[in-house]
Amino acid sequence: MKIYRAGDALPGALAGETVAVLGYGNLGRSAALNLRDSGVKVRIGNRDDEYADQARADGFEVVPLATAAGADIVFVLLPDEVIPEVFARDVTPELRPGSAVAFGSGYSVAFGLVHPPETVDVLLVAPRMAGTAARTRYLAGRGFWACVGVEADRSGRAHRRMLGLADALGALRAAALEMTAAMESALDLFVEQTIGPLLGTALMIAFDVGREAGIPPEALVMEMYMSGEMETVFAGFRTAGFLRASEDHGPTAIFGGITRAIEIDREELSVRFRRVLDDIRSGAFAERFQAEARAGYPLLNMAQGLLRGASHITEAEARLRCAAGLPDPPADRV
């Protein structure tokens, strides 16, 4: 696998070109600020809403999406399910021959939900970091990882533009892995739909079983994640390696972890994970998600209502924060 680092991008790779960032949400805002701080000329394409107001407050020129699509490089950072309709309506008709369109996720390209004209470069520049953290890491000089690639080179400058964009974002300060949009989308969705649900379900089951057995709920949420110990475990995976990080724990933890891991039905999990990956790669998941969006997000709204409702685990978190003098979560996360 090709891995790009700082120095692989040519100096002035984006010189003389304007980058239009479509969407000023969490990632769009951080991307636009990072690009501007790197000396890139940036304008924002966004509908007239609170995000557009924020972009203007940050000193950016904000124009309609169709106007922004006439830029030299169009960086699409809209929600995955929104992109197909917006791209067909506002972007495709305005793209100029020789320009480039870059996607912050391989989703729309991989599943044939967008069809860029055959006169433009098609790039993948997909940060592996949420927006706020991408901005914080950029300001700290650390950068963040990304997946990058060239889906189509019609200008002869696609590779240069791709690396220039990744570099200006701050991705090459860490590293960028070259891959196709299809591979990036499979990677992203596969981990989200296997590790995420499995870990989340394990935490909830452990909380319920422990609480029923008389372990204080506050102690359970503290031990599982609020102490920050779990964060150090994942940091150990990153710095020492997944297996070697186990040496940071005592014999009791290692013995218990190994013996319980042996009891897990690995074959059943493998079958489940392969089924998930096959469903993603076939495009079936994307079809269901696009249908969900067209229907007004009924399942997603129901799930969000449940997540935001009262629960034993949320109540335990609140009591622990209060007792320890910790701040409440931000209002927009409640």
pLDDT in tens, 88-140: 999 999 999 999 999 999 999 999 999 999 999 999 999 999 889 999 999 99
Give the residue, 43 or 231, on which the prediction is more confident.
Answer: 43
In the structure encoding, which two tokens stand for residue 109, read together? 């390209």
User: Is 70 exceeded by the pLDDT of residue 74?
Assistant: yes
User: Is 80 exceeded by the pLDDT of residue 210?
Assistant: yes
In the structure encoding, which two tokens stand for residue 284, read together? 């079936």
Determine the pLDDT at residue 266: 93
Output the average pLDDT for the chain: 94
Determine the pLDDT at residue 331: 64
Distance between CA atoms of 46 and 56, rounded to whole angstroms?
Answer: 11
Taken in order of first residue, the domains within the chain and their CATH numbers are 3-179 (3.40.50.720), 184-227+264-333 (no CATH)
Pairing of strands 3-4, 146-152: unpaired
Per-residue pLDDT tens over the stretch 147-184: 999 999 999 999 999 999 999 999 999 999 999 999 99
* Closest CA relative to residue 111, chosen from 276, 281, 293: 281
Cβ contacts of 78-83, under 8 Å, gap ≥ 24: 78/22, 78/23, 78/25, 78/28, 79/23, 79/25, 80/105, 80/107, 80/108, 80/289, 81/289, 81/290, 81/292, 81/293, 82/293, 83/107, 83/108, 83/113, 83/114
Determine the pLDDT at residue 307: 86
Determine the pLDDT at residue 218: 96
Rounded percentage of the chain residues whose pLDDT exceeds 70: 99
Is there a contact between 134 and 106 (Cβ–Cβ < 8 Å)? no
Determine the pLDDT at residue 238: 86
Determine the pLDDT at residue 216: 96
Confidence tier at 332 by pLDDT (50, 70, 90) = low
Confidence tier at 334 by pLDDT (50, 70, 90) = very low
Average pLDDT score over residue span 228-243:
88
Give the residue, 104 or 242, on which the prediction is more confident.
Answer: 104
User: Is 60 exceeded by the pLDDT of residue 333?
Assistant: no
Q: Find the helix packing angle between 284-294 and 298-308, rounded to 10°.
A: 80
Decide: helix, strand or coil at residue 75. strand
φ, ψ dihedrals at 40, nearest 5°: -85, 140
Per-residue pLDDT tens over the stretch 246-272: 778 888 988 998 899 999 999 999 999
User: Is 60 exceeded by the pLDDT of residue 239?
Assistant: yes
Query: At a CB cut-off of 8 Å and minimum separation 6, what does 209 contact?
Result: none
Distance between CA atoms of 302 and 318, rounded to whole angstroms?
Answer: 23
301: alpha, beta or left? (left if phi > 0; alpha if psi -120 to 50): alpha
